Amino acid sequence: MSLNARRLGLAAVLLLAAMPALAGTGPFGVGLPEPAATGGGFLPGLFRLIAGWQAGFYRDLTATLSAMKANGSAGLWLMALSFLYGVLHAVGPGHGKAVISTYVLANRETARNGALLALVSALAQAVTAVVMVVVAAVLLGATSIAMTRAAAALETGSFALIVLLGLWLVWRKIVRPVGDWLAERYAPVAVTVGGAPAVMTASFSTALSHDDCGHDHQRLGLKPARHIHDDGCGHLHAPSPEVAAGRLDWKKAWSAVVAVGLRPCTGALIVLVFALSQGLFAAGIASAFAMALGTGLTVAVLTLAAVTTRGLAVRLAATGGGDTAYRLHAVIEAGAAVVVLLFGLLMLGASLWG
């Protein structure tokens, strides 16, 4: 086995090791209680244990809210419990981690950007829960059953947004690049032969080296119908430092935030409704945002692990040449885009026909 093959194999192992942080079995908020994990094995048992802990947190949160009527100092304990619930919630079943992590990988975002996306998305879930309870319970006088149905509708809408996000990522990371590559590879070029133009296929263009990006078409007598003179000059190069460490593009990132934030957190809804019934709605709002902070920080750590693993894998591949690193980047981005799309389709199908 060649040295490059061994390096690529090690890079693949590292990426597989990061998949638990990308899988759809974790976390962000869930709009509705999800079915308990069934079957044997370590993960189903772990999820059942976490679900039991969450149920205990529900009881403790509502009990602490009740105690606040007699003892205002219980508010600090409520915030601590809410934060811990958010941390625990971030390792249970849900779709937020899968969406944020794969979005970050597909768009070559930095660890800082991934952490920021995780926090903003978690806070968006808290805002959705508060707005939903205010509109449904306070303004419309809806019952808890009606709010549960509304949460189900928001959940379906959230899954639909994930599908749209996946389609957009697949277009940007697979369909459009492949189309550009095919057009570049098979674009006709005019070659002057004895004063008369002849047409040939520029299939050799993808074999040009980095230095060939500055070649003189006039001197060579070649007039390509289409040649890309961007940062990559139509060829394979590692990403520029500006791309690898740039600022977060909110024009692109808002879709991931909305897809996650549209689905309110179950715990936040329970606490908000109970707090409203006890005349402590302000405390309920504070509790919801404490949950969001715990969830957001935990997902930020998981996203950081995924981004770090990706970077290590790419650096290992880069030792075999710049083209190898670039191709690995492209595979990671394309794979992440497909994961988002498939995950959204599965969750949307289960929501509509389950």
- Position 46 scores a pLDDT of 63
* Contact between 104 and 98 (Cβ < 8 Å): no
Q: Any residues with CB less than 8 A from the CB of 223 and at least 6 apart, and which?
A: 189, 190, 191, 217
Tell me how far apart the alpha carbons of residues 148 and 126 are, in angstroms, rounded to a whole number: 16
Give a yes or no: residue 177 inside a domain: yes
Give a yes or no: residue 310 inside a domain: yes
Give a yes or no: residue 303 inside a domain: yes
Tens of pLDDT, residues 142-155: 666 676 676 677 67
Give a yes or no: residue 209 inside a domain: no
- Position 6 scores a pLDDT of 47
Give a yes or no: residue 216 inside a domain: no
Edge-first strand order for the sheet with 196-201 is 196-201, 188-193, 222-224
What's the average model confidence in pLDDT over 262-270?
79
- Position 293 scores a pLDDT of 92
Tell me how far apart the alpha carbons of residues 336 and 169 are, in angstroms, rounded to a whole number: 9
Give a yes or no: residue 214 inside a domain: no
Q: Pick the residue with more confidence: 224 or 141?
A: 141
Tens of pLDDT, residues 93-107: 555 666 776 677 666
Q: How far is CA 112 from the centre of its chain?
A: 14
In terms of DSSP bridges, do strands 222-224 and 196-201 run parallel, antiparallel, or are they unpaired? Answer: unpaired
Q: How far is CA 161 from the centre of its chain?
A: 12
Q: Pick the residue with more confidence: 228 or 309?
A: 309
Give a yes or no: residue 251 inside a domain: yes
Tell me how far apart the alpha carbons of residues 233 and 237 are, in angstroms, rounded to a whole number: 9
What's the average model confidence in pLDDT over 301-319?
75
Instruction: Kindly state the percentage of the chain with pLDDT values over 90.
Output: 3
254, pLDDT greater than 50: yes
Query: Can you say whether the dihedral through the CA atoms of 159, 164, 165, 171 is positive or negative?
Result: positive
51, pLDDT greater than 60: yes
58, pLDDT greater than 80: no
| Cross-strand partners of 114 | none
Q: Indicate the pLDDT class of residue 189, thresholds 50, 70 and 90.
A: low
Residue from 221, 231, 226, 178 nearest 205 by CA: 226
Tell me how far apart the alpha carbons of residues 342 and 163 are, in angstroms, rounded to a whole number: 8
DSSP letter string over 6-37? HHHHHHHHHHHHHHHHHSTB--S--SSPPPPP
- Position 197 scores a pLDDT of 53
Least confident of 39-53, 125-139, 209-223, 295-309: 209-223
- Position 35 scores a pLDDT of 41
132, pLDDT greater than 80: yes
* Contact between 275 and 284 (Cβ < 8 Å): yes
Total domains, the chain: 1
What's the average model confidence in pLDDT over 314-339?
72
3-state secondary structure of 110: coil
What's the average model confidence in pLDDT over 23-50?
48
Task: Report the interhelical angle of 250-261 vs 144-170 (nearest 10°).
Answer: 150
Tens of pLDDT, residues 230-251: 443 433 333 333 333 456 667 7
The CA distances from residue 58 to 13, 84, 296, 299, 332, in Å, are 39, 11, 19, 21, 39
What's the average model confidence in pLDDT over 335-347?
79
* Contact between 121 and 96 (Cβ < 8 Å): yes
Torsion of CA 174, 179, 185, 189, to 10 degrees: -160
The beta-strand segments (E) located in the chain are: 188-193, 196-201, 222-224
Q: What is the Rg, in whole angstroms, of the alpha carbon atoms belonging to the chain? A: 25
* Burial status of residue 279 (CB atoms within 10 A of its CB: 0-12, 13-18, 19 or more): exposed
Give a yes or no: residue 197 inside a domain: no
Residue 169 structural domain: 3-185+244-353
Tens of pLDDT, residues 165-188: 788 888 888 888 888 878 887 766
| Cross-strand partners of 197 | 192
pTM tops 0.75, yes or no: no
Chain mean pLDDT for the chain: 67
- Position 205 scores a pLDDT of 41
Q: Indicate the pLDDT class of residue 77, thresholds 50, 70 and 90.
A: confident
- Position 5 scores a pLDDT of 44
Tens of pLDDT, residues 271-306: 888 888 788 888 889 999 999 999 888 888 888 877
What's the average model confidence in pLDDT over 219-231?
40
Residue 348 CB coordination number (10 Å): 19
- Position 47 scores a pLDDT of 58
Tell me how far apart the alpha carbons of residues 160 and 99 are, in angstroms, rounded to a whole number: 13
- Position 222 scores a pLDDT of 37
Q: How far is CA 174 from the centre of its chain?
A: 17
What's the average model confidence in pLDDT over 331-341?
79
CA atoms within 13 A on the CB side of 52: 6
